[in-house]
Amino acid sequence: MAIAVFFANGYEEIEALTVVDLTRRAGIETWMVSITEEKAVTGSHGITVSMDKTLEEVDFEQVDMIVLPGGMPGTLNLEACEPLMAKVKEFDKAGKYIS
């Protein structure tokens, strides 16, 4: 099982990093994924975090769950990422987990 947590500039740090922390402590493979080509993403409170992957590097065949943290303008930036939204729609259609 693998979970992909998608980060956009302006993400809500608690919503994103708590998920990563808890799932990794539970032994679940969890990737922090930048929706841009940059692996450093800055949250809504100015905290910059280094990602494991960029969106282009994700093999969605290995992903069992997509996590989309809130935050402003992070949520709007996620929504504006057409390749990610296409994958979200595919996951929804397939009945896979989206949070």
Strands ordered across the beta sheet of 29-34: 53-54, 29-34, 2-7, 65-67, 97-98
Please provide the average confidence, as pLDDT, over all residues in the chain. Answer: 97
CB distance 16 to 68 below 8 Å = no
pTM over 0.75: yes
Write out the H or E segment, with its range, that includes residue 67.
Answer: strand 65-67
Mean pLDDT of 41-48: 96
How confident is the model over 21-50, as a mean pLDDT? 97
User: Is residue 10 predicted with pLDDT exceeding 90?
Assistant: yes
pLDDT, mean of residues 7-15:
97
With a cut of 90, say whether residue 42 has pLDDT above it: yes
Residue 1: which pLDDT band, with cuts at 50, 70 and 90?
confident
**Interval 82-96: pLDDT, tens:** 999 999 999 999 999
Indicate whether 63 pLDDT > 90. Answer: yes
